[in-house]
Amino acid sequence: MATETKKAKKSKPTGPTTLDLVVKAIAALNDTKGSSGVAIKKQIKATGVERSSVFVNKALKRGVATGVLKQVKGTGATGTFKLDTAKAKKAEQEKAKKQKAVQRKKDLLEKQKKKRAEAKAKKDAKKKAVSAKKVKKPAAKKAVKKKSAAKPKKAVKPKKPAAKKPTKKAAPKKKVVKKPAKKVAAKKK
């Protein structure tokens, strides 16, 4: 037997993603020349959310790659960043569509689980009903057997014997006539 060990699924963190926090921080800073990475990290901490600078740097790079952010100066996670409002709106709309699709899928799965559970319940109820009927049937079969025992059985026709090969006829035996025994007792008198 194999041991049953289930791998724990990694739970997704609740709340906004780091990229969402970066976008909100840049919007809150509202710097026309662009916000530096250090200023963005300070703004995120000021909102009360603890995020590692590694995650913020990754989010900045991802934002530039996806087009949500524009990098005004610098390379990678260093330099200054601005929001690309048109692309940011598209990204938000796409994200909302994905969330709706995921929610629809979850709802569909829940409906399917309910249908399966109902079908299983009906099937179990039918099995119980059938098993209850089967318990009653053996008594009825015994009564039928008793009635059938009282009926006379049909005569079985004998099978025709296989044709025999003709054999030579033996000579008929002569009849032997036995003579009555003489009475011995009558002579002695």
Domain co-membership, 28 together with 78: yes
What is residue 72's DSSP assignment?
Answer: E
53 lies in a domain? yes
| pLDDT number for residue 1 | 46
pTM confidence score? 0.43
Residue 27 CB-half CA count within 13 A = 11
10 lies in a domain? no
| pLDDT number for residue 161 | 66
- Distance from C-alpha of 5 to C-alpha of 43, rounded to nearest angstrom: 43
Domain co-membership, 70 together with 91: no
Number of domains in the chain: 2
Out of 139, 157, 176, pick the residue that ends a domain.
139
Domain co-membership, 112 together with 91: yes
Domain co-membership, 56 together with 113: no
Domain co-membership, 96 together with 66: no
- Distance from C-alpha of 56 to C-alpha of 36, rounded to nearest angstrom: 12
Buried residues in 75-88 as b, exposed as e (16+ CB within 10 A): eebeebbebbeeeb
168 lies in a domain? no
| pLDDT number for residue 116 | 92
| pLDDT number for residue 75 | 85
| pLDDT number for residue 186 | 53
156 lies in a domain? no
8 lies in a domain? no
- Distance from C-alpha of 172 to C-alpha of 161, rounded to nearest angstrom: 26
The CATH number of residue 78's host domain is 1.10.10.10
Domain co-membership, 99 together with 114: yes
59 lies in a domain? yes
65 lies in a domain? yes
Domain co-membership, 50 together with 93: no
- Is the distance from CB of 80 to CB of 74 less than 8 angstroms? yes
66 CB-near residues (< 8 Å, 6+ apart):
87, 91
37 CB-near residues (< 8 Å, 6+ apart):
56, 57, 60, 77, 78, 79, 81
| pLDDT number for residue 103 | 92
For the segment 14-62, what is each residue's pLDDT rounded down to a tens digit?
778 888 888 889 888 888 888 888 899 999 999 888 888 899 999 999 9
Show the low-confidence residues of the chain (pLDDT under 50): 1
153 lies in a domain? no
> 22 is in which domain, residue-wise?
18-83
31 CB-near residues (< 8 Å, 6+ apart):
39, 80
